[in-house]
Amino acid sequence: MAIEGLYKAVREGDFDKTREILNSRPEACNMIITDKNETALHIAVAIRREDIVKELVDHMLVESLKICDSIGHTALIRAVVHGNRPMVDCMLEKSPDLISIKSSRGNNLPIVMAIDFGQIEMTHHLFKVKDSIPDLEIQDHNGATLLTCAIYAGTLDIAWELIQQRPRLALAIDKFGESGILALASVRRSFPSGRQLGFWKQRIYSCMCIPLAPAINVQAGQSNRQEINRSSGICTQLCEMQEIHDQYYDKLLSKMREEISESESQQLEAGLVYDAISRAAENGMFEFVSEMLGTDRRFIWTEDKNRRNIFMLAVLHRQEKIFNILYQQDTTMNYCLTCLDLYENNMLHMAGMMKEEYATRINQISGAALQMQRELQWFKEVETIVLPKYKESKNKGGLTPRQLFTKDHKDMKEKGEKWMKNTATSCTVVGTLIVTIMFAAVFSFRDDNQGMGLPKSLNKFLFNIFIISDALSLFSSSTSVLMFLGILTSRYSEEDFLEYLPRQMIIGLLTLFCSIASMMITFSSALLIILHEQLWIAIPLICLAIVPVTLFVWIQFPILKDMIISTYGPSIFDRKMKS
Domain termination site, one of 77, 101, 132? 132
Of 432, 461, 433, nearest to 449 by C-alpha is: 461
Is 6 in the same domain as 107? yes
Per the domain annotation, does 387 fall within a domain?
Answer: no
Per the domain annotation, does 215 fall within a domain?
Answer: no
Domain termination site, one of 254, 288, 305? 305
User: Which H helix or E strand runs over 239?
Assistant: helix 234-244
> What is residue 236's predicted lDDT score, i.e. its pLDDT?
57
What mean pLDDT do residues 553-576 have? 82
Is 172 in the same domain as 60? no
Of 79, 50, 75, 56, nearest to 65 by C-alpha is: 75
Is 148 in the same domain as 286? yes
Give the gyration radius of the chain's Cα atoms.
34
* Cα–Cα distance measured from residue 262 to residue 268, given in angstroms and rounded to the nearest whole number: 10
Is 142 in the same domain as 33? no
Is 9 in the same domain as 124? yes
Is 36 in the same domain as 167? no
Give me the percent of the chain exceeding a pLDDT of 90: 33
- Burial of residue 393 (number of CB atoms within 10 Å: 0-12, 13-18, 19+): middle
Of 124-133, 160-169, 346-355, 536-545, where does the model show the most confidence? 346-355
Q: Say if residues 306 and 396 touch (Cβ distance below 8 Å).
A: no
Give the CA distances from residue 363 to residues 40, 190, 485, 573, in Å, rounded to whole numbers and listed in that order: 54, 21, 28, 19
Q: Say if residues 517 and 545 touch (Cβ distance below 8 Å).
A: no
Q: What is the pLDDT of residues 237-292, one digit of tens each?
A: 545 555 555 556 778 888 899 999 888 889 999 999 999 999 999 988 888 898 89
Per the domain annotation, does 356 fall within a domain?
Answer: no
Q: What is the pLDDT of residues 106-127, one digit of tens each?
A: 788 899 899 989 899 999 998 8
Q: Is residue 198's pLDDT more than 70? A: no
The 10 Å CB-count burial string (b at 16+, else e) for 474-508 is bbbbbbbbebbebbeebebebebbbebbbbbbbbb
Q: What is the pLDDT of residues 294-347, one digit of tens each?
A: 888 888 888 889 999 999 999 999 998 888 887 776 667 778 888 899 999 999
Q: How many CB atoms sit inside 10 A of residue 3's CB?
A: 17
Give the CA distances from residue 40 to residues 18, 31, 33, in Å, rounded to whole numbers and listed in that order: 10, 8, 7
Handedness of CA 535, 537, 541, 543 (dihedral sign): positive
Q: What is the pLDDT of residues 361-376, one digit of tens each?
A: 888 888 889 999 999 9
The CATH number given to whatever domain includes residue 20 is 1.25.40.20
Residues 6+ apart with CB under 8 A from 83: 114, 119, 121, 122
Is 172 in the same domain as 91? no
Is 40 in the same domain as 172? no
Is 419 in the same domain as 496? yes
Q: Could you list the residue range(s) of the whole structural domain that residue 27 is in?
A: 1-132
What mean pLDDT do residues 132-154 have? 75
Threshold 0.85, pTM exceeds: no
* Cα–Cα distance measured from residue 219 to residue 379, given in angstroms and rounded to the nearest whole number: 50
Q: What is the pLDDT of residues 31-71, one digit of tens each?
A: 888 889 989 999 999 999 999 999 999 989 999 999 998 99
* Cα–Cα distance measured from residue 59 to residue 22, given in angstroms and rounded to the nearest whole number: 7
Is 124 in the same domain as 6? yes
